[in-house]
Amino acid sequence: MIELRERERRMLLTIRRLGGKASVEQLISESGLSHAAAMRTALALKEKNLVKIHEEKHSIVKLNEEGKIHAKKGLPERRLVNTLEKLKGRIPLEKIVEKAVLERQFVPIALGWIQRKRWATLDSEAGTLKIIEKPKEGNDEKLLKLLGEKGQATVEELSSELQEAINILKKRKLLVIDEKMKRTLEITDEGKKALVKERRAVKEITQLTPELIISGKWRKAKLQKYNIEAPVAKTWLGKKHPYLRFLDEVKRKLVALGFKEMVGTVVETSFFNFDALYTPQGHPAREPTSVYYVKAPKYGSVNAYKHALVNVKKTHENGWKTNSSGWKYKYSVREAGRLILRSHTTCLSARTLLNKDLEIPSMYFSIGRCYRPEVLDKTHLTEFNQVEGIVVDKDLTLRDLLGVLEKFAIDIAGADKAKFVPDYFPFTEPSVELRAFKKGYGWIEFGGSGIFRPEVTLPLGIEVPVLAWGLGIDRLYMLKAGIDDIRQIFSLDLNWLRKQEVV
């Protein structure tokens, strides 16, 4: 014999009282159960074959804010034509708009629809409107009125004329449509028999209280059994953002490979962001269209780096002792102190090479936020993260650099293969660009790399080769996560965030 719990019996009785069939919403209202409790009880009854659960998808249509305005005042074209009808004749447009008290942003919309519906003709040269015939109420207006009164409606329950009107109002962006699942419970023959056989629900307890233990009543009490395989309400656990977890993972892997982390400030001097990297002071990368300049204060101090500043100045002007001819211009020490938001993390590499605690041989990395006034699109942001790295040692070659970059692309980003394309940067020679491929995703550009030129290393006091790279780690994550729009990484899309695995 099937034993019924108190909630199960209450729900079966409610369904029988409502004619043997009832929606979840009706059951919640009649039984007083919460939505979660009602669904758990319904699933338990279904497992016992006492009820059937019918599911039907419904589209719920309701007005947005603009739609509510028009539901209250009338569509812009209706307000315009009603005023025109009262004034009679060929009336100047400005006068009609004024009398109709029509908001300016709705005037072009009203004119477009009033002609599309053939309610009136517009003489664009004279700027006048003339009514054609008295307009009848359209299906779009009927639907607007219905939604204004009821708040929402089920698409499937509307007439075919009003369903067609949905498309019109949707194109006009006056309403929204939500998909909802409607669940109905129907009592089975077994459920009816269970109610007849069991007049009283079995009273069960869910926990032992001090009173039950002290009084001894626990001996006669029946503990509720739990089905640990029964489905439960979906819950969303608090978890770290998937991209932040990825950054932590990259850091752990780099540290495990023997890299030490470089850190620095977001506001940087032009000396470290450009000058120390052998980028001339007239370079296009220093234009306001390519870098963010700090408004106040405009300049910072570079006095702590006087020795390096002198070497960099000579290198820019005449090549100094680097076997280069330099850029052949008058170097400005004042411009070297110009404050900016760093446009790349390579400035941290320059700072590290100048640090008195630098070890040779050594490997360093950084993951930092950079800023450039880019045009936002699928692969560019004005704020982005970059992973920077340098390897300092004697006898280093380009082959060593390519090996490091390939490991990045395959082991960290999960790419299937990588390739290298010759490139140019003022501070590296040779220079290569890293590209990686993933099946089903295609090729993506990650960033540049190369061996620092003597014009960079010698003024900073480094006489051994330095491998360097600066990669867009946002794009590395795009490849790993299968995202084709970089903006999605920083979105507030809860559905996407909730679906990301917890690792």
- CA nearest neighbour of 315 among 141, 183, 460: 460
**437 — pLDDT class (breaks 50, 70, 90):** confident
**233 — pLDDT class (breaks 50, 70, 90):** low
Answer yes or no: is 79 within a domain. yes
Max mean pLDDT range (152-166, 183-197, 333-347, 435-449): 333-347
Answer yes or no: is 98 within a domain. yes
Determine which of 64-73, 197-206, 352-361, 429-438 has the lowest per-residue pLDDT on average.
197-206
Q: In a 3-state reduction of DSSP, which class is residue 214?
A: helix
pLDDT at 460: 95
Q: Give me the number of domains the chain comprises.
A: 2
Check which CATH number belongs to the domain holding 384 and give it. 3.30.930.10
Answer yes or no: is 39 within a domain. no
Check which CATH number belongs to the domain holding 161 and give it. 1.10.10
Q: Which residues contact 200 (CB under 8 A, 6 or more apart)?
A: none
pLDDT at 117: 87
Judgement on whether residues 313 and 444 belong to the same structural domain of the protein: yes
pLDDT at 388: 92
Domain boundary among 176, 201, 223: 176
Answer yes or no: is 284 within a domain. yes
Judgement on whether residues 161 and 253 belong to the same structural domain of the protein: no
51-63: strand order across its sheet: 21-23, 175-187, 51-63, 152-154
Judgement on whether residues 429 and 283 belong to the same structural domain of the protein: yes
pLDDT at 392: 94
Determine which of 205-209, 212-216, 332-336 has the lowest per-residue pLDDT on average.
205-209
Answer yes or no: is 185 within a domain. no
pLDDT at 444: 81
Q: In terms of residue numbers, what domain contains 95?
A: 65-176
Judgement on whether residues 270 and 395 belong to the same structural domain of the protein: yes
pLDDT at 202: 54
Bridging pattern class, strands 204-205 and 222-223: parallel
Judgement on whether residues 293 and 442 belong to the same structural domain of the protein: yes
Between 293 and 88, the more confident residue is 293
Q: Which residue has the tokens 């001819």?
A: 325
Answer yes or no: is 35 within a domain. no
- pTM comes to 0.57
Q: In a 3-state reduction of DSSP, which class is residue 445?
A: strand
Per-residue pLDDT tens over the stretch 346-359: 999 999 999 988 98
Token duo for residue 473: 């780690």
Per-residue pLDDT tens over the stretch 468-494: 998 888 988 887 887 888 888 887 778
Judgement on whether residues 156 and 289 belong to the same structural domain of the protein: no
Amino acid 247 reads: L
- CA nearest neighbour of 473 among 378, 370, 372: 370
Between 342 and 496, the more confident residue is 342
Judgement on whether residues 280 and 136 belong to the same structural domain of the protein: no
Judgement on whether residues 259 and 165 belong to the same structural domain of the protein: no
Q: Please report, to the nearest 10 degrees, the dihedral formed by the alpha carbons of residues 84, 90, 95, 100 taken in order.
A: 10
Per-residue pLDDT tens over the stretch 287-315: 998 999 999 999 999 999 999 999 999 99
Token duo for residue 408: 């990045």
Determine which of 21-30, 87-96, 332-341, 493-502 has the lowest per-residue pLDDT on average.
493-502
Check the CA dihedral 458-463-467-468 and report its sign: negative
Distance in angstroms (rounded) separating the CA atoms of residues 363 and 401? 12
What does the mean pLDDT of the chain come to?
86
Judgement on whether residues 170 and 258 belong to the same structural domain of the protein: no
Distance in angstroms (rounded) separating the CA atoms of residues 310 and 403? 36
Q: In a 3-state reduction of DSSP, which class is residue 91?
A: strand
Angle at 416 between CA 413 and CA 419, to 5 degrees: 90
Judgement on whether residues 383 and 494 belong to the same structural domain of the protein: yes
Q: Please report, to the nearest 10 degrees, the dihedral formed by the alpha carbons of residues 338, 343, 346, 347 taken in order.
A: 20
Domain boundary among 176, 191, 218: 176
Determine which of 19-23, 290-294, 308-312, 436-440 has the lowest per-residue pLDDT on average.
436-440
Per-residue pLDDT tens over the stretch 114-159: 888 888 888 777 778 788 877 888 899 999 999 998 888 888 888 8
pLDDT at 364: 95
Answer yes or no: is 12 within a domain. no
Answer yes or no: is 303 within a domain. yes
**227 — pLDDT class (breaks 50, 70, 90):** low
In 336-382, DSSP assigns E strands to 339-341, 362-371
Q: How many residues does the chain have?
A: 503
- CA nearest neighbour of 437 among 412, 410, 411, 474: 410
Read off the pLDDT of each residue in 236-248 and give the average, rounded to a whole number.
86
Judgement on whether residues 270 and 139 belong to the same structural domain of the protein: no
Judgement on whether residues 476 and 342 belong to the same structural domain of the protein: yes
Domain boundary among 142, 176, 210: 176
Query: Taking a C-beta distance cutoff of 8 angstroms, is the pair 468, 346 a contact?
Result: yes
